[in-house]
Amino acid sequence: MKPNTIAIIGTQWGDEGKGKVVHFLSRNADYIVRYQGGNNAGHTVVFNGKEHILHLVPSGILENKKCVISNGVVIDPEALYQEVMFLRSQGIKINKENLFISEQAHIILPYHKYLDAIKEKTQRIGTTQKGIGPCYADKYARVGIRVCDYLEEDTFRSLVEKNIEEKYPLISEFISKKALLKQIFEQHKKYSKFIKQFVTNTTNLLIKVINENKKVIFESAQGTLLDVEFGSYPYVTSSHPTVGGISIGTGLPPSYISKVIGVAKAYTTRVGEGPFPTEIKSKLQDILREQGKEYGATTGRPRRCGWFDSIVVKHAIKINGIKELVLTKLDCLRNIHPLKICVAYKYKNKIYYDFPTSRKLQWLVKPIYKTFPGFSEDINSISNYQSLPKNVKNYIEAIEHFCGVKIKMISLGRDRNETIFK
C-alpha cells in the first residue's frame, strides 16, 4: 500500500504562501504535520473573510483537522499558549483530540532569546530573535531540554541549573541570574500543565495513521533557500525546511512520503540579510511590496522583493524531488510592465545555471533575464485557467519551461477560494 501523504515545500526564501496551500488542501486531509522550525515562521491564511496568522499550530486547525507538532519543531511554551488561546477566542476548537505535540520536541527558554540577541549583534543574519537558533544549537550540543524533560519538574530544574551556569555569563547584561531563574520557573509552572494535555509519541501516532491509509500533509516552515544545509549559508534558518527534514523531524521513514509539491511565489522575496540576485533596486520594489502586502507575518518587517528566479526554484526542485508546483500571488504582478524571469547568473564572463555554493558568488553574480509583457486585467475572480489573459498564461508557461516542471495549481488572491487548477 502506497502512503497517502503530501509534503508541501517552499521553493524560495520562505513566505511563498504555503499556509494558504496547506489550508486549501487540508479539506481532503486527516492530519497536518509541522516538522521543523518554531514560532519564527508565520503562515497567513484568510478564512471566512478573517485573517489568521499561525506560528506553530498547523493551518489545518482552521478546518478542524488533526494537527501534529512533531519532534523536529522547537517550541516556545509561552508562544504556543498564546496562539492556542487566540485561536480558541476566534471560536476554533483545540484540544487533546486534534492537537498532538511530540514528547521529543525541544523547548525554547528565555535564555535562548537573550543569546539570539547577542548573536545577531555580531552576525547580522536577520533572525527573528525568538531563540530558534540557540535552541537548535543546544539540541546538537546535547544540552537541550525536550518536552518530556519539561514535564518532569526535577529533571527540568536540574537541566536548567546546569545550562544557566554555562550561559549566564554570556547574557548577564540583560538580566540578573535570580530574575532569570524566577522567569523560567514561573513560566514552567504555568505552561507545563497546559502543554501536558497535548503530548504524545507523535512518531508512533503518524506511523499508525499512515498505515491506516489516513491522508497526511507535511507542512514546512521557511523555504529551501533557508535550509541550513542547502540554502544561502550562513543566511539561513537553523533547521531543514527541505523534504529531507521530514524523516528526521518526524521519525518517519522516507518511504512514507509519497508526493512532494513545491510552492513558488510568482516573484521572489526574502526577509532579513543575505544575498538576493534578483532583488529589484528601484521604486518598483516598493510598489510590488505594497501590492503583495510583503511584510513578515511574524515580525512585520518589510520583505525585500525581486523578480522570479528560476535558478533558485530549480535548485529547490532538484533538492526536494518536486514533481509539480503551486504558483502563488500571481495577482500581485498586475500593472507591472514588463515582467522578468531570471534564467541564469553571470560572473566574470562565466554563465551559471545552478545556484552557487560559494557565498562570494552568491553576492556577486548578476542575473540574466528574459522579459515578458505584463498584464493589467483584474484576475482575482477568474475561476479557470482558460479564462486567464493571454499574457498571464504566457508568463505561467515560461516559468514552467525554465523550471522544468508543471504548475498544477495557481493562487490568484489571498482568500482560499481564489485558486484555480491548470
Q: pLDDT (tens digit, 9 = 90+) per residue, 318-347? A: 999 999 999 999 999 999 999 999 999 999
Residue 214 and residue 82 share a domain:
yes
Averaged pLDDT score across all residues of the chain: 93
251 and 276 fall within a common domain: no
Residue with cell 522544468: 404
Compute the distance between CA of residue 315 and CA of residue 374 in angstroms, rounded to an integer: 26
Which three cell numbers, joined as nine digits, stand for 201?
509519541
Look up the domain containing 371 and give its range: 264-421
The pLDDT of 392-398, averaged and rounded, is: 98
**Range with the lowest mean pLDDT among 10-14, 222-226, 379-383?**
379-383
The structural domain count of the chain equals 3
Query: Which of 57-71, 124-138, 147-161 comes out lowest in average pLDDT?
Result: 124-138
**Is there a single domain that holds both residue 76 and residue 217?**
yes
Are 295 and 382 in a shared domain? yes
Q: Which CATH number belongs to the domain containing residue 314 in this structure?
A: 3.90.170.10
414: pLDDT confidence band, cut at 50, 70 and 90? Answer: confident
Domain end among 260, 280, 296: 260
Residue 51 has pLDDT above 90, yes or no: no
Give residue 296's pLDDT: 78
pLDDT at 9 over 90: yes
* Among 146, 173, 196, residue at a domain's last position: 196
Same domain (yes/no): 95, 22: yes
Question: How many angstroms separate the Cα of 86 from the Cα of each of 55, 80, 289?
Answer: 12, 10, 28
- pLDDT interval class at 43 (50, 70, 90): low
Please state whether the predicted TM-score (pTM) of the whole model is above 0.85: yes
Tell me the average pLDDT across 47-67.
83
Same domain as 352, residue 216:
no
Q: What is the mean pLDDT of residues 107-125?
A: 85
279 with 375, same domain?
A: yes
Last residue of a domain, one of 218, 236, 260: 260
15 among known catalytic residues: yes
315 given a catalytic annotation: no
pLDDT in tens, 246-269: 999 999 999 999 999 999 999 999
Residue 224 and residue 89 share a domain: yes
Please state the rounded mean pLDDT for residues 112-116: 91
**Confidence (pLDDT) at 126:** 64
Q: Do 70 and 131 sit in the same domain of this protein?
A: no
> What mean pLDDT is predicted for residues 357-385?
96
Residue 271 has pLDDT above 70, yes or no: yes
What pLDDT digit, counting tens, does each position of 173-203 carry?
A: 889 999 999 999 999 999 999 999 999 999 9
CATH number of the domain bearing residue 192: 1.10.300.10
User: Among the options 23, 43, 240, 315, which is catalytic?
Assistant: 43
Residues 243 and 269 in one domain: no
The verdict on 83 and 232 lying in the same domain is yes
Instruction: Report the CATH number at residue 225.
Output: 3.40.440.10
Nearest Cα to Cα of residue 292 among 274, 310, 272, 271 = 271
- 125 pLDDT band (50/70/90 cuts)? low
Assign 20 a pLDDT band (cuts: 50, 70, 90).
confident
Catalytic hit among 15, 116, 138, 227: 15
Asked whether residue 382 falls in the same domain as residue 347, the answer is: yes
CA 256 to chain centre: 21
